[in-house]
Amino acid sequence: QVQLVESGGGLVQAGGSLRLSCAASGRVLSDYAMAWFRRASGKEREFVAAILWNGKRIYGRDSVKGRFTISRDNAMNSLYLRMDSLSSEDTAVYYCAAVFEDEFLDYTTGSLYDYWGQGTQVTVSS
């Protein structure tokens, strides 16, 4: 069984930066894609970004491209999300997720992921 634990969330002013981390335990996530999703209050879950074992990155909506950077440390079994130029629209609970890679998977679809963390709150004050 895989456990995912997020950290790094908090309160930040608009224009600021945060770095989220996700630590995986239970097994080495080789050949697993890892991703970040977020859910703002009253809204549906949204895909933010994913990264494959080989480092290939997939980003969600245009509003995060260029501001958010997803990365992973395979040796540390960890996932990261660097978020810059934050705005109030980025306020949400951010979740880490993992799924065994398959060339036919749409990694932007949350329902396909097998493992989820408990989430970390990011609040951006304007």
Separation CA 41–CA 87 (nearest Å): 15
Task: Report pLDDT digits (tens) over 8-30.
Answer: 999 999 999 999 999 999 988 88
Tell me, what's the pLDDT at 3?
A: 96
Q: What is the DSSP track for 73-92?
A: ETTTTEEEEEE-S--GGG-E
Tell me, what's the pLDDT at 1?
A: 85
User: Tokens 């224009």 — which residue?
Assistant: 15
Task: Report pLDDT digits (tens) over 31-70.
Answer: 999 999 999 999 999 999 999 999 999 999 888 999 999 9
Going by their DSSP bridges, the two strands 10-13 and 120-125 should be labelled as: parallel
Separation CA 98–CA 31 (nearest Å): 10
Tell me, what's the pLDDT at 27?
A: 87
Joined tokens for residue 38: 């977020």
